[in-house]
Structure 1
Amino acid sequence: MPTPSVSFEFFPPKSLNASFRLWDTVQTLAPLAPEWVSVTYGAGGTTRELTREAVATIGQAFDLRVAGHLTCVDASREETLEVARGFRKAGVEDIVALRGDPPKGEAGFTAHPEGFANSVELVAALADEGFMVRVGCYPDKHPEAADADADIAWLKHKIDAGAKEAITQFFFDPETFLRFRDRAAAAGIDAPIVPGILPIENWSKASKFAEACGALIPDDLRAAFEVATRDDRADLLAVAQAAELADTLVGEGCDQLHFYTLNRPELTRDVCIALGLAPKVALSRVA
């Protein structure tokens, strides 16, 4: 079976200890030679400057292709594009364009009076600026979508606006992704759709996150993690579950996988090694 290419998502640090954790994460995963890595925005765009700094530093220190996340939240069009141009000055040409979560305390997304109304408008503007734009998509129905067909239609709008690739929200059943991929193809979407995988570092947090973003949790998986957590075997189950999911997807023709690391690199590293991705240098060495 072919070995897939991989990409990793990191969080920008909000404290000194978090900074150490981020650099340890990048140092651990860089030897696996990812195609690219990304740095997220906090909810409501709260880590905008931290994201910019982390993107620049990771690209320079580790010689990795880095994508900055960019959202429509709480900023005018010009302010948002200035962030994108700041990425470019740091040598970054890749952006993951998202609508973004509303600021803390707000029930739903409200566009800035002078900002982008939605992710489609953001994608179009970034594509016009010449960036390589990736977008998100939802194999399980987005909590705000009218139905599953609406998710497909919205993804097509983003691809038509200039996005070159889509990354899925995490999911737990490979059939969820495969059905979504088939429906996207039937709708005329020919851009790559990369499955997003979350190695489960903390079951309680992961299950709450899944419920918030609409990712369905199979009953047998929930039961298995509850037992494994009680028996202090959760990490073993997490690696086995994510590796099995990834292996199934590769067997179904997925040649790219995107990992949500949560800045906890050990599980992602172990899953990648289980898939046959050998580190290019010693794992303790900075690239």
Structure 2
Amino acid sequence: MRLTVTTWNINSVRLRIDLVLRFLAEARPDVLCLQETKCPDDAFPLKAFQGSGYENIVFAGQKGYNGVAILSRFPLLTRDVMSFCERPDARHISAVLGREAGPAAGIVLHDFYVPAGGDVPDVGLNPKFAHKIDYLDELRAWGGRRVKGPAILVGDLNVAPLEHDVWSHKQLLDVVSHTPAETERLETLRGEAGWIDAARLLTPEPEKIYTWWSYRSPDWAAANKGRRLDHAWVSPDLAGTVRSVTVARHARGWERPSDHVPVTLALEL
């Protein structure tokens, strides 16, 4: 069985619902994990997605910011939401694939949206950056306890951890998302818990991988100053099943796009 799981920071699910439906029609992933839905639960466009063939949906939202959702062609069990830093932010949701998923049954899906951290990489001057560092520290503590059995962790982790995950390592060392304070924390928590970075498993450095291009660039494609902020990790027992990680770069060129693009993990189970 081939299982495909896509992660995508959509930057407002209602504003860009046509783009999500377009992607679902074209790519047909088994599972789509969204971040930054910016949508309270009572306004989530449930019927539109169910009408497109994704009957199984769990979500956690807030008005105007944050928000995560998992859409699946297979039944989803045991919806769970975790909060970090004593804030009830909608930044995590998880579910388990039901028995109808065949060999994929029992796989735990985690969908995360890590805080962006603002513009100033100083915990003393920037409360948003301080929150991000605290969040990563708490995520590290959680990550070391929870990887039991087959699991997939995806999402906008808002950190480009490796040298070739950004267009210029030297120029971005003091830019939020690529500072040592962030990159070291993310790689430490991943390594301690045993998560496997699926993209880099198949495409090791020094090859560049980007999943995000800033709105601030007048010509994002020509400048190509990207960062790899969106990740797909698998538990060690799934590492041998990873077949591809595909970045849908063309979606950045769609009308009124998100600044992130879909990233699809494919497993052969």
Q: Shorter-chain-normalised TM-score: which range?
A: 0.3 to 0.5
Larger proportion of helix: 1
Larger proportion of strand: 2
Larger Rg: 1
TM-score by length of 2: 0.44
Q: Relative CO higher for 1 or 2, CA cutoff 8 Å, sep ≥ 6?
A: 1
TM-score by length of 1: 0.42
